[in-house]
Structure formats: C-alpha cells, structure tokens
Amino acid sequence: MEHVIIGNGIAGISAAEMIRRLDPAGAITLIGDETFQPYCRPMISMVLDGSIPHDRLPIRSADFYEQFKIKAVLGNRVSAIDIASKTVSLENEQTFPFDRLLIASGADPRPINADNLHLQNIFFMRTQQHVRGMLDALSNTRRALVLGGGLVGFKAAYGLLRRGLKVTMLISSGYPLSMQVDAKAGEMIQDELTSRGLQVQVEAHVVGFDGNERVERAYLSDGTEISCDIVVIGKGALPAHSFVPRDSIKVDLGIIVDRHQQTTTENIYAAGDVAELVDISRKCRWVNAIWPEAVSQGRIAGMNMAGRKVAYKGSLSRNVMRIFGLDVMTAGIVNPAPNADYEIMTATDRRRRTYRKLVFLHDRLIGMTLVNCVEQGGILVALLQSETAVTIPKAKMLAPDFNYRQLIR
Amino acid sequence: MKKVIVHSERCVGCMQCMAACAITHSKTRDLFSAVLETPLPKPRIHVGVGLFNEGFPNRCRHCDPAPCQLACLPGAILRDLEFDTVLIDPDKCINCASCAMACPFGVLRYHEHCFAPPGKVVAVKCDNCIERQMQGLIPACVEVCKVHALTFEEPAEALKRKTDEVARSVSAGVSQSDLTVGFTLLNTHKRKQIELGRD
C-alpha cells in the first residue's frame, strides 16, 4: 500500500504516525514544503516574545522519519494531482504514485493589496522562518505596525510588545480577536494590552508602504501615515489547495471532506488547516484552522487510510491564551447571531476578576468564553463536543465552584 | 495492573485525599513542614462539591488515548508504559493551558511545584504516585481514604465485586436494595439541608 501525505505539519505527522501504527508494512511518503524538523507552529509566537528559545520548537525527534519508516521529501511544493493515474507531481517535476493520498498542506498567509510590499522588514507570521527573520530585524527596529487583530496579528503584537517595541495594531473590527471573543471579553483584552503600551486603531487599513530598502512608513486609507520600521501582516490564512483538481475534488474555502476526512474522490483525504468539514456547534461546514483540530483530523484520516473506517463527529473552534495578566479560553459560537432561540448567560466576578459567558441553544451548550480561572474549561469543551443535554440549572455552570461532579447524576 | 478506582457514592467530602496528595508531592513529605514550604505544595486530586454538597474525588483518569497528550503543543505529556500513567514533563511544559482545554474532567492546574524548575508555572495533574509505586507503595490518596471511596486494585476484580453486590441486591428474598446505606443516608441528609435552607 502506497500512502502519500502532502504536508509535514501536525496533521500530516499525526496521520503518518497513525498509519504506521496500524500498517507496519505500508510505504509512507511525506511531502513537505518546509525543511525544518516537524515543529509546533503555535509556539513560534513564544519564540517571538522571547519566552522560549528557537531550539524548543521541534516536537519530534531528529530521527523521526527514520524511526517511523517514512520517506520524507522536503523543500518542495505540490504542483498537481493526477486523479486518473493516481500520482502527485511536485514543482521540481518529481512524481509520486499513491493508493491513498492525504492532503494536509495547511494554509498560507492571506496576502494584502498594498504598494511596496517588497520592502525589507515586512513579514507574515506563519512559519518559524518568518519569526527568525523578525528576530534578526529586531535589533534595529523600534516601531512595529501590526495589520490585523486576529490570532496571528494579536500574537505578533503581544510578542513585539514583550520585546520592548512600540506597537500599533490596525484592526477592522471593533476589538481584537473578534472571531474568538465577544465585545466584553474583547474590551478586557484590549484594555490589558493598551495598559502595557499597545496602540490600537480601528477600521483603518494600509494602502501602501514607503522606505529606502527597509520599510519606514505606512500609508492608510484615510490619508494619514504611520511611521514604522517593522510590519507584521496578520490578515488570516487561506487553505493552500491551488494544486487540487476542482473537477474531481470539491473545494470551497477549504477542501470539503466527509466524516471520514475523505474528499469527494475516493481514497483521497484531507485534514488540518486545509480541510473544511462540519462544525459541531455551527452545524455547517467550517474551516477550524487550529492545532488540536489538525491533530484529531490527522489521526482520523490516518485511521481511515489504514483501513479503519472511523468517523469524526466534527470540528470545534476553540482557543486558550495567556495575555499578560489575563487568561482567556473560548470555544464554539461566542457571538451568536440575534436569535430568540439562543440563551446567553454571563457572569462577572470583580473580586476574582473573572468573566464567563455561556451560549445555549435550548438545552445544548453551543459556545463559551472564560476570562481568568480557565483551568476547568475543558469540561465545557467536552460538553460542546458531545452535545450532551444540560439538565442542571444553567446558572450553576457560571458559578466559581462549578466542577465535573455537578454534571453527573 | 492495579489502578486507582473511584467509588464516588462513598465519598463524604473529607478531603483527606487532597491533603495526602499535596504532602506526598512536597519536599519534606510531612504535613507540618510541608505547609511551610515554598512553593506551597498543592493537591493533584480535587474534591469537587456537587449540587447537593456531595463530595467527589476528581483525579486524572490517565486516559488512553489522552486528550491532554494529543493537545500538548511542545509534546511535554507522555505515557509511562510500565505504570500506564500519563505524565507531564515540567521542563518541556510551556504553560499554554492547551491541556486544560482538552481535559473533559477538569483535572489540570497551573502552579509552581518542587519537581519543576524553580519559579516556573507549569501544568500539574495526578501522576499516579508513580514514585511511591516504584517503591512498592500504593498511591497516597488511596492509602488515606477511610471510607474506601478510592481503592487500588485490578479493575477486573473491582468490577466483579460490584457485579456480585448488585446481583445479590436484586436476588429473590433480599429486602434491602441500597448497597451503601450509610452513604446514602449522609447524602440524603446533605440534600435535605440544602432544600430546607432554600425555603
């Protein structure tokens, strides 16, 4: 059996490990764009902010590929998949035949439309290489401009603030992390950051940059300009599937897969940031490009590729982060559209400095936000994933003494 | 392999397990000196209060596969195969709380402890008292539980015992069906106190 995996991110790695566990003899070829050892992508923001050294990024041993008998083909991107002949072609024209194929090519930073993007010190923040470049530039930079208030932009701003730079963040929503938190939590987060020196500008976007080799200023759509010597573009990530033949494999924002992580073509699977599948709380297809999803989806895809038809219930958006003195955990639908069926319950405890928000659809929990005291949030995440009916008084779930015992009879 | 089995209907909420756990995971391993240590030793088992004041010893189940292990970003959570125990390496831990987000039981906590690098806040949870087991001892929480809400036995044996109890209780000629009379009485009392307090 020839297993080919496109992508050496955690989805591809998890799938490879699972296949090897279930199929000791099958051949596994893993094609990766990045040549660096398999590493934890979310941790690059900790390298940026200085809390961990770069050499702590790898999450598998140096002999990982050898240990799992994986043929690693690194440093090249896939250019095409030929469905009829069941081969994958790379940009350097190498070809690989497959019986089972997993597309775990992840996502690429969304580009922006602005002049002079070629200037030095303008970065995306997706790979360890990007962060290495940013760290090299740090020694002669003082004013950072971050585009985007989502997860990437946010982590970039936080990291650069911790490195002692003056940071201005340009966001298009009313508050940072608008996809992850509600207005109240967003306000708490923004206050925490501005109290540490972050400047936030809302509804402004950049039309161009200027400078002599290195970026020196940015021009905004409202006619103003901001002087900056380092720029980070965090305007989202787009699933990377340009090489996928659209006539055979259905693609929307991501590659559409069923509950077995299989695409619309038999024996071809997708997992991780590139995949689009049913979201448990939203009840519609969604791309949840987060680390724990990539792990779960990679494992499920690997099981199915190795012959075990395991079904995945669906993805769930969730995040946890520590921002200076604030801890935030969110999951599911945190900003429900106005709808009489949704029940939203909140609780603020000034003494404990906590904020809790729970969103219910009838007796099912569909979203939650926790600010501070987040340790037991996993209980709520499990409730979201299992869709268990909540039979206890809902207000109990907002109380500081809420714990696992209160959910069992 | 013997495991720690929780018989939650017997928990009276005394929290001795929490004290024993914290003391075992301290430098001096003695109550009177442990409370003076820095960092202050903390328990890895947590007695949660139920809706009617029932006790419940909430400890890590050492799940297989372990959601915390799969979620861990730096790969700091591993399984010890000899003792079938899920362990957190405090040197690798980056305190990101991804494990807490993944744990369906809410057993993770974050603080300093004497087995972690000094001054570093790390993820902490039950380690099955693996060091005690290596010395032929049983987990501290089990040793101290007076009501046998926590036992250390082969799961198959515990299951057999429970099956036999239930079988006996539903046999013809048996008048009493409550298997844990004293505990049921205690919990009924607690529940009534709360309900009366509401009126």
pLDDT digits (tens, 9 = 90+) for A3-25: 999 999 999 999 999 999 999 99
Q: How confident is the model at residue A244 (pLDDT cuts 50, 70, 90)?
A: very high
Which residue, A116, A200, A218, is CA-closest to A158? Answer: A200
For chain B, domain boundaries: 3-153
CATH value of B3-153 in 3.30.365.10, 3.30.565.10, 3.30.70.20, 3.30.429.10 = 3.30.70.20
Residues A218 and A193 both lie in one domain:
yes
Q: For chains A and B, count residue pairs whose Cβ atoms are closer than 8 Å.
A: 105
Boundary-marking domain end, from A233, A267, A283: A233
CB contact under 8 A, A378 and B56: no
Is residue A318 assigned to a domain? no
On the question of pLDDT at A84 being above 70, the answer is yes
Chain B residues close to A321, C-beta within 8 Å: 96
DSSP B85-140: EEEE-TTT-----HHHHH-TT---EEE--TTS-TT--EEE---TTHHHHHTTPPPH
pLDDT above 90 covers a percentage of chain B that reads 82
Q: How confident is the model at residue B34 (pLDDT cuts 50, 70, 90)?
A: very high
pLDDT digits (tens, 9 = 90+) for A162-215: 999 999 999 988 888 988 898 899 999 999 999 999 999 887 789 999 999 999
Could you tell me where the DSSP H helices lie in A180-272? Answer: 183-194
On the question of pLDDT at A240 being above 80, the answer is yes
Residues of B with CB under 8 A from a CB of A: 8, 46, 48-51, 54, 56, 58, 67, 70-71, 73-75, 92, 94-106, 108-110
Q: The CATH number of the domain where A253 resides is what? A: 3.50.50.60
On the question of pLDDT at B110 being above 70, the answer is yes
**Mutation site, B73, B190, B194, interface A, largest A CB count within 10 A:** B73
Boundary-marking domain end, from A233, A255, A282: A233
Is residue A114 assigned to a domain? no
CB contact under 8 A, B104 and A382: yes
Chain B residues close to A296, C-beta within 8 Å: 70
Q: How far is A393 from chain B (nearest CA, A)?
A: 10
On the question of pLDDT at A344 being above 90, the answer is yes
At residue A119, the pLDDT reads 95
Q: The CATH number of the domain where A383 resides is what? A: 3.30.390
Strands A230-233 and A122-124: parallel
Tokens representing residue A79 in the block: 């250019």
Q: How confident is the model at residue B55 (pLDDT cuts 50, 70, 90)?
A: very high
SS3 A406: helix
Boundary-marking domain end, from A305, A327, A348: A305
H-helix or E-strand containing A101? strand A100-103
Residues A80 and A131 both lie in one domain:
no
Q: How far is Cα B141 from Cα B19, in angstroms, rounded to an integer?
A: 8
Number of domains within chain A: 3
Is residue A325 assigned to a domain? no
Residues A74 and A128 both lie in one domain:
no
Chain B residues close to A404, C-beta within 8 Å: 48, 56, 58, 105-106
At residue A204, the pLDDT reads 77
How far apart, in Å, are the Cα atoms of B11 and each of B48, B150, B188?
11, 8, 13
Is residue A323 assigned to a domain? no
Contact in structure between B190 and B53 (CB atoms under 8 Å): yes
SS3 A31: strand
On the question of pLDDT at B179 being above 80, the answer is no
CB contact under 8 A, B94 and A46: yes
Residues A226 and A248 both lie in one domain:
no
Residues of A with CB under 8 A from a CB of B: 40, 42-43, 46, 51-52, 56, 59-60, 291-292, 295-296, 299, 318-322, 327, 329, 331, 374-379, 381-382, 392, 396, 401, 403-406, 408
- Say which of A291, A299, A378 has its CB closest to residue B73: A291
**Mutation site, A329, A391, A404, A407, interface B, largest B CB count within 10 A:** A404
Residues A248 and A101 both lie in one domain:
yes
- Say which of A60, A320, A322 has its CB closest to residue B101: A320
At residue B197, the pLDDT reads 85
CB contact under 8 A, A59 and B75: yes
Q: How far is Cα B42 from Cα A347, in angstroms, rounded to an integer?
A: 28
- A71-100: buried (b, 16+ CB within 10 Å) or exposed (e) per residue? ebbeeeebeebebeebebbbeeeeebebeb
Q: Give the pTM.
A: 0.94
Q: How far is A197 from chain B (nearest CA, A)?
A: 23
- What type of residue sits at position A380? L
pLDDT above 90 covers a percentage of chain A that reads 89
Tokens representing residue A42 in the block: 């979310």
pLDDT digits (tens, 9 = 90+) for A273-318: 999 999 999 999 999 999 999 999 999 999 999 999 999 999 999 9
Q: How far is Cα A310 from Cα B101, in angstroms, rounded to an integer?
A: 24
Q: How far is A239 from chain B (nearest CA, A)?
A: 21
Q: How far is A385 from chain B (nearest CA, A)?
A: 10
A221 φψ region: left (φ > 0), alpha (ψ -120 to 50), beta (else): alpha
Which residue, B170, B189, B192, is CA-closest to B179? Answer: B170
Residues A300 and A350 both lie in one domain:
no
Contacts 24+ apart (CB under 8 A), B186-191: B186/B12, B187/B52, B187/B54, B190/B52, B190/B53, B190/B54, B191/B52, B191/B53
User: Of A41-55, A247-261, B121-135, B157-171, which range is least confident?
Assistant: B157-171
Q: For residue A269, what are the domain limits?
A: 2-108+244-305
Is residue A330 assigned to a domain? no
At residue A174, the pLDDT reads 84
Residues A77 and A139 both lie in one domain:
no
At residue A286, the pLDDT reads 97
Residues A17 and A55 both lie in one domain:
yes
On the question of pLDDT at B199 being above 60, the answer is no
Tokens representing residue B86 in the block: 């899920």
Tokens representing residue A196 in the block: 């540490």
Residue with tokens 């604030």: A326
